Amino acid sequence: MSDKPVLEFFDNPRPERDYTITIRCPEFTSVCPKTGHPDFGTITIEYIPEAKCLELKALKYYMQSYRDKGIFYERLTNEILDDLAAGCEPRWMKITASFTPRGGITTDVVAETSAEMGKK
Amino acid sequence: MSDKPVLEFFDNPRPERDYTITIRCPEFTSVCPKTGHPDFGTITIEYIPEAKCLELKALKYYMQSYRDKGIFYERLTNEILDDLAAGCEPRWMKITASFTPRGGITTDVVAETSAEMGKK
Amino acid sequence: MSDKPVLEFFDNPRPERDYTITIRCPEFTSVCPKTGHPDFGTITIEYIPEAKCLELKALKYYMQSYRDKGIFYERLTNEILDDLAAGCEPRWMKITASFTPRGGITTDVVAETSAEMGKK
Amino acid sequence: MSDKPVLEFFDNPRPERDYTITIRCPEFTSVCPKTGHPDFGTITIEYIPEAKCLELKALKYYMQSYRDKGIFYERLTNEILDDLAAGCEPRWMKITASFTPRGGITTDVVAETSAEMGKK
Amino acid sequence: MSDKPVLEFFDNPRPERDYTITIRCPEFTSVCPKTGHPDFGTITIEYIPEAKCLELKALKYYMQSYRDKGIFYERLTNEILDDLAAGCEPRWMKITASFTPRGGITTDVVAETSAEMGKK
Amino acid sequence: MSDKPVLEFFDNPRPERDYTITIRCPEFTSVCPKTGHPDFGTITIEYIPEAKCLELKALKYYMQSYRDKGIFYERLTNEILDDLAAGCEPRWMKITASFTPRGGITTDVVAETSAEMGKK
Amino acid sequence: MSDKPVLEFFDNPRPERDYTITIRCPEFTSVCPKTGHPDFGTITIEYIPEAKCLELKALKYYMQSYRDKGIFYERLTNEILDDLAAGCEPRWMKITASFTPRGGITTDVVAETSAEMGKK
Amino acid sequence: MSDKPVLEFFDNPRPERDYTITIRCPEFTSVCPKTGHPDFGTITIEYIPEAKCLELKALKYYMQSYRDKGIFYERLTNEILDDLAAGCEPRWMKITASFTPRGGITTDVVAETSAEMGKK
Amino acid sequence: MSDKPVLEFFDNPRPERDYTITIRCPEFTSVCPKTGHPDFGTITIEYIPEAKCLELKALKYYMQSYRDKGIFYERLTNEILDDLAAGCEPRWMKITASFTPRGGITTDVVAETSAEMGKK
Amino acid sequence: MSDKPVLEFFDNPRPERDYTITIRCPEFTSVCPKTGHPDFGTITIEYIPEAKCLELKALKYYMQSYRDKGIFYERLTNEILDDLAAGCEPRWMKITASFTPRGGITTDVVAETSAEMGKK
């Protein structure tokens, strides 16, 4: 994670209450590692903050850092969850990634911090 | 809260029944404390009244009192919940705040009175 | 309730089964008791009949009886629930009232027969 | 049920698995027994098959058999559920009937095989 | 399954976490075994991967292999679930197949790996 | 036209002005003369009245008179235009008929009084 | 027009320029003179002002004055055009009235000041 | 055109009037001659008949004849126009072909009989 | 116009060609001079540039300068057209202002540089 | 244009007819030369081919060549029109570029080959 933009945080203004913040980034783009063509999608972050909240400007730079990066959908979604959850240490976080169609096929990936192993 | 417009209330016409009132204010605007630019959003209030119901005209003035106020999304949502719940003393209340995109990123914040601390 | 149109009913054709009837009345209008201006909304009735079903023509006259009546949203919704539930004696009934915006603010009220007191 | 078209069935190709079949018939019409005017609606059938699945061509004829029949919404919905469930013997079946507006009022009726008596 | 295109897989990049992948194929076509006319629909695959993820290019060839195959909706949906689940060995998988209208009637079929026998 | 319901008319309340009346009948049904199956569609009438306006209740009976009639789309649309224009003698009239899909194919027919022969 | 609310006007702030004002009143209701039942619709006014602009509060009272008036759609639309054009003396004005369905049939009426007699 | 299904026609029931028939075929599929992958799209036919109208069942077979044919979008649209116009000899005909996205890019082609050479 | 933010411009990169720029500002707010309450709306600017193009950041400040200004819809729309056209000297410019409902009534105002006096 | 990907063309299959090709590229991204942040938009190309048609794969590479290029909306739209029209020599071509909101403001630019100088 050393070459990624540094995420920034601000103090949760009401840590004694569970509340949900939803951030939608419809301008996400990365690169398909197989074809070298750009991928496009929408990344949605939902979380319940503990002590820290995600600062939006730094988050935007973080999202832009994928612009030239070759990465598959499944790894990408889990990596964003890992990075944001590691930095923000939320009570709960979920990442929903929805990509535009390729070859007539559309893919979404959804990962969250609290999913234990086993059948849903 | 001293410089805010006074909220007004009327008697709940059917206190012996739990029922839900939903109030949508799509014309909300405040000011970003960082950039000084106006923010725009929709504030939705849902609640189950106890003895008192929110009077809509006073509520409109309350919402308008944020027009020149510099405040971040997260604090704003929790503050509205605190103010309205303190005045109205409802059995349950939830505030959903949805803001327009900034830098290609959209943010919603949802807080409610009954959320206990811990993972969702 | 003496000056209201008489509701009419017909025998539930399948009382041995729980099933749901939903009736939507988008042409509801009453009068705001404060301003004297007309209010407009949609009243939706959902119920599980016991012995009797609501006859639609009489229901239409009942709804029209509010046309010149000054009444607030919260009282109106609960009153319709009380009237219809008293006449129809359903196993369960819910009234959803959605009103058009006033001063940029929109209000919905939802009440049902089975809501016990306390937090939702 | 003697004058109704005969429903036809085919063997459930995977009886060892619970799966759901949804059939939507938006071209349903019957006759109002009170006014003699035609009624129009959409009938949706959802079911989990046991040994038999509904054959669609025979089902179409069954639906067309209501074209000249005078019947109220509530009886109609329950009758379709009774007929289809009696013939198909499904693990579960639900009928949703949505009719077009009459006198500014719209009605839906929903019935299913598993609803026990009492409050929902 | 011998004459079908070989499905391909890649290693699940985060097997220690339950997360959901949704793949939508709106360009599905097969042949009605009764009339010989083409059928058209959308196949949606949702799954939680165990060790393997579905490779999308091979999946596209698999979907195209139905182009000249005569098969009914119910069998088709279950067969896709069986094929994909057998190859991918997911923690959970669900197939939703939505077909275009025939004779004014629309059909959807939904099957999943975890549905035990009995009423839903 | 002898066995059709009699159309009725009322005096145009403002004959000195050209104005347009649009009547939409989404509950039209007739019978396919080839298959015997019902057809469904929406008939839209637009006209500029001269001395007479179409009375809506008689128009409804006129539309219902097609319920058991076997007739193709193209003849039907022109026949409705001929009947209504003959009775109403409007300054201008247009009929738009939109039918539901059959065999995956949807058909609309549009005819108006003023279309002279030749290329559009 | 003696018993109607008085329309009010303010000076056109830019009479040297042709520009268009569109006013939409979706909360219109009058009474059907035949059945005595309320009618509901949306009245849209478009005009190019000459010396005077329509004052909106007085216009609202004017629209409300139809609440208890029995009047057919065609006469209503032309009467509103006559009243507003007589008071406002615009360069051009058009009224579009769209009413909710009755007996499955929907009606719109459109009239404007500049329509000369003859075919459209 | 020798290996194509024979188009069929019926007599135009009102040849003395110009009227428009619109036929929408959303279930079109052909094959990309470059990649061998199937293409999917919607073909819309609009025409003013002269002596003959397109028979829909034969048209459906004509459309299905492209299912295994390798052909580019531009040639396909013009070929359908040529075939249908040659057979039907309409006063005017237009073909609109809308294809699903490939590589994030969507293509439509529109051709009509009356377009003379030169700038639009 | 002395207390308004200064509009800024950049050189039209292709003055030898007529082309259209459309700028939509959905976050406009001003104050009603009668009631003192805020008004909300969307301002859309369409223009064909001559030598200068509107710089968007300065335009945003210009739009924000109405935040505390009491002004009616009709004057506002014409004033924005006057200000922007005076500064930008376009070949053509049109302003469309759409305001949110007040008292159940919605208003739009549309003004453009080229409208000569007289009927539309 | 030396460092841009080479556009490719294929022979117009029906040069004797004017017909229109519309190509929509919703996955366009470039860089704002002022802020260095990425811009996102949809580029739509409409043209009537003369001798040559645009080959879609080369067009995709052409569009991707803007990914790292700093360029303003107005120059970009005109440059794409110049490049494509120079290469393709169409009878007519139009470029519509629609960008996502920045600072609450959305911009579209539309340019075409045939626009002569002067007012629209």
Chains B & I: contacts with CB separation below 8 Å: 22
> Average of pLDDT values for E6-12?
96
Give contacts of C26 with chain D, Cβ < 8 Å. Answer: 104, 106
Give contacts of J60 with chain A, Cβ < 8 Å. Answer: 37
Whole-number Å distance between alpha carbons of C81 and C68: 19
Q: Looking at the annotation, which residues of C are catalytic?
A: 32, 39
Nearest CA among E120, A2, A107 for reference residue D114 = E120
What's the confidence (pLDDT) of residue F2? 52
Q: Is B touching I (3+ C-beta pairs, cut-off 8 A)?
A: yes
Residue D2's pLDDT band, with cuts at 50, 70 and 90, is: low
Give contacts of I75 with chain G, Cβ < 8 Å. Answer: 13-14
Residue B54 confidence (pLDDT) above 50 = yes
Residue F76 confidence (pLDDT) above 50 = yes
Whether J37 sits inside 8 A of B100 (CB atoms) is no
Q: Is I touching E (3+ C-beta pairs, cut-off 8 A)?
A: no
Contacts of A2 (CB under 8 A, 6+ apart): none
Residue F87 confidence (pLDDT) above 60 = yes
Taking CA–CA distances from G35, the nearest residue in chain D reads D103
What's the confidence (pLDDT) of residue E115? 62
- Here the tokens at position A108 are 């979404």
Determine the distance in angstroms separating the CA of C98 from the nearest CA of chain I, rounded to an integer: 14
Known binding residues of A for substrate: 54-56, 73-74
Residue B2's pLDDT band, with cuts at 50, 70 and 90, is: low
Domain boundaries, given as residue ranges, for chain H: 18-114
Residue B104 confidence (pLDDT) above 90 = yes
Residues H15-73: tens digit of each pLDDT: 999 999 999 999 999 999 999 999 999 999 999 999 999 999 999 999 999 999 999 99
Interface test with D, best of C7, C10, C17 (most D CBs within 10 A): C17
Q: Which CA distances in Å does E93 have to A119, E116, F118? A: 9, 14, 59
Q: Is D56 part of any known ligand binding site?
A: yes
What's the confidence (pLDDT) of residue J116? 46
Given a contact as 3+ CB pairs under 8 Å, which chains touch E?
A, D, F, H
- Report pTM: 0.94
Which single residue is written with the structure tokens 């598993």? D114
Determine the distance in angstroms separating the CA of E5 from the nearest CA of chain A, rounded to an integer: 17
> Average of pLDDT values for A106-110?
98
What's the confidence (pLDDT) of residue H4? 83
Using only C-alpha atoms, what is the Rg of chain G? 15
What's the confidence (pLDDT) of residue C2? 52
> Average of pLDDT values for H96-118?
87
Residue H101 confidence (pLDDT) above 50 = yes
**From I18, I25, I32, I108, active-site residue:** I32
What's the confidence (pLDDT) of residue B117? 43
Q: Strands A38-48 and A19-31, how do they pair?
A: antiparallel
Given a contact as 3+ CB pairs under 8 Å, which chains touch B?
A, C, I, J
The set of long-range contacts for D32-39, using a CB threshold of 8 Å and a minimum separation of 24, is: D32/D70, D32/D72, D32/D102, D33/D70, D33/D71, D33/D72, D36/D70, D37/F60, D37/F64, D37/G103, D38/F27, D38/F29, D38/F64, D38/F67, D39/D73, D39/D99, D39/D100, D39/D102
Whether C27 sits inside 8 A of G64 (CB atoms) is no
Query: Chain-wide mean pLDDT for chain C?
Result: 93
Residue F115's pLDDT band, with cuts at 50, 70 and 90, is: low
What's the confidence (pLDDT) of residue C45? 98
Residue A4's pLDDT band, with cuts at 50, 70 and 90, is: confident
Residue H95 confidence (pLDDT) above 50 = yes
> Average of pLDDT values for C68-90?
97
> Average of pLDDT values for H73-90?
97
Whether G100 sits inside 8 A of C26 (CB atoms) is yes
Residue I114 confidence (pLDDT) above 90 = no
Residues I71-81: tens digit of each pLDDT: 999 999 999 99
Give contacts of G106 with chain F, Cβ < 8 Å. Answer: 23-24, 26
Residue C115's pLDDT band, with cuts at 50, 70 and 90, is: low
Determine the distance in angstroms separating the CA of D27 from the nearest CA of chain F, rounded to an integer: 7
Whether B100 sits inside 8 A of I64 (CB atoms) is no
Nearest CA among B82, B119, B99, B3 for reference residue B43 = B99
What's the confidence (pLDDT) of residue A78? 97
Give contacts of E30 with chain F, Cβ < 8 Å. Answer: none
Whole-number Å distance between alpha carbons of H28 and H38: 10
Residue F118 confidence (pLDDT) above 80 = no
* DSSP for B73-90, written as a single string: HHHHHHHHHHHHHHHH--
Which residues in H have their CB inside 8 Å of a CB on E? 26-27, 29, 37-38, 40, 60, 64, 67, 100
Give contacts of G101 with chain C, Cβ < 8 Å. Answer: none
Residue C114's pLDDT band, with cuts at 50, 70 and 90, is: confident
Contacts of D82 (CB under 8 A, 6+ apart): none
Residues B68-88: tens digit of each pLDDT: 999 999 999 999 999 999 999
Fold of B18-114: GTP Cyclohydrolase I, domain 2 (3.30.1130)
Residue D120 confidence (pLDDT) above 60 = no
Residue C61's pLDDT band, with cuts at 50, 70 and 90, is: very high
Interface test with J, best of I9, I16, I21, I46 (most J CBs within 10 A): I21
Chains H & J: contacts with CB separation below 8 Å: 74
> Average of pLDDT values for B30-39?
95
- Of residues H18, H57, H114, nearest to F115 (C-beta): H18
Residue G117 confidence (pLDDT) above 60 = no
What's the confidence (pLDDT) of residue A1? 44
The share of chain C scoring above pLDDT 70, in percent, equals 93
Give contacts of J100 with chain A, Cβ < 8 Å. Answer: 26-27
Residues F20-59: tens digit of each pLDDT: 999 999 999 999 999 999 999 999 999 999 999 999 999 9
Active site residue I32: yes
Residue B97 confidence (pLDDT) above 70 = yes
> Average of pLDDT values for A84-107?
97
Nearest CA among B50, B59, B56 for reference residue B18 = B50
**From F3, F11, F32, F108, active-site residue:** F32
- Of residues E27, E29, E38, nearest to H100 (C-beta): E27
What's the confidence (pLDDT) of residue B68? 96
Whole-number Å distance between alpha carbons of D43 and D45: 7
Taking CA–CA distances from D100, the nearest residue in chain C reads C24
Whether A74 sits inside 8 A of E23 (CB atoms) is no
Interface test with B, best of C72, C82, C100, C105 (most B CBs within 10 A): C105
> Average of pLDDT values for C62-79?
97
Distance of CA D61 to the CA centre of its chain: 12
Whether E75 sits inside 8 A of D49 (CB atoms) is no
The share of chain F scoring above pLDDT 90, in percent, equals 90
Q: Strands I52-54 and I9-11, how do they pair?
A: antiparallel
**From B11, B18, B25, B32, active-site residue:** B32
Least confident of E10-14, E17-21, I80-84, J3-7: J3-7
Residue C119 confidence (pLDDT) above 60 = no
Taking CA–CA distances from D28, the nearest residue in chain F reads F40
Which residues in J have their CB inside 8 Å of a CB on I? 72-75, 77-78, 102-112, 115-120
Taking CA–CA distances from A61, the nearest residue in chain B reads B103
Which residues in F have their CB inside 8 Å of a CB on H? 72-75, 77-78, 102-112, 115-120
Residue I48 confidence (pLDDT) above 50 = yes
The secondary structure element, H or E, covering residue G62 is helix G56-64
- Of residues F107, F112, F119, nearest to H92 (C-beta): F119
What's the confidence (pLDDT) of residue B115? 62
Residue B35 confidence (pLDDT) above 50 = yes
Determine the distance in angstroms separating the CA of B13 from the nearest CA of chain A, rounded to an integer: 31
Helical spans, DSSP H, in chain B: 56-64, 73-88
Give contacts of C105 with chain B, Cβ < 8 Å. Answer: 23-25, 56, 59-60
Residue A2's pLDDT band, with cuts at 50, 70 and 90, is: low
What number of other Cβ atoms are within 10 A of residue J35's Cβ? 12
Residue G97 confidence (pLDDT) above 60 = yes
What number of other Cβ atoms are within 10 A of residue H108's Cβ? 18
Chains G & I: contacts with CB separation below 8 Å: 73
Interface test with J, best of A27, A43, A57, A61 (most J CBs within 10 A): A27
- Asked if B81 and A16 touch (Cβ cutoff 8 Å), the reply is no
Residues A24-60: tens digit of each pLDDT: 999 999 999 999 999 999 999 999 999 999 999 999 9
Give contacts of I29 with chain C, Cβ < 8 Å. Answer: none
Determine the distance in angstroms separating the CA of A27 from the nearest CA of chain J, rounded to an integer: 7
Burial class (CB within 10 angstroms; exposed 0-12, middle 13-18, buried 19+) of B42: middle
Contacts of J29 (CB under 8 A, 6+ apart): A27, A29, A38, A40, J38, J39, J40, J41, J66, J67
Give contacts of F40 with chain E, Cβ < 8 Å. Answer: 104
Residues J37-63: tens digit of each pLDDT: 999 999 999 999 999 999 999 999 999
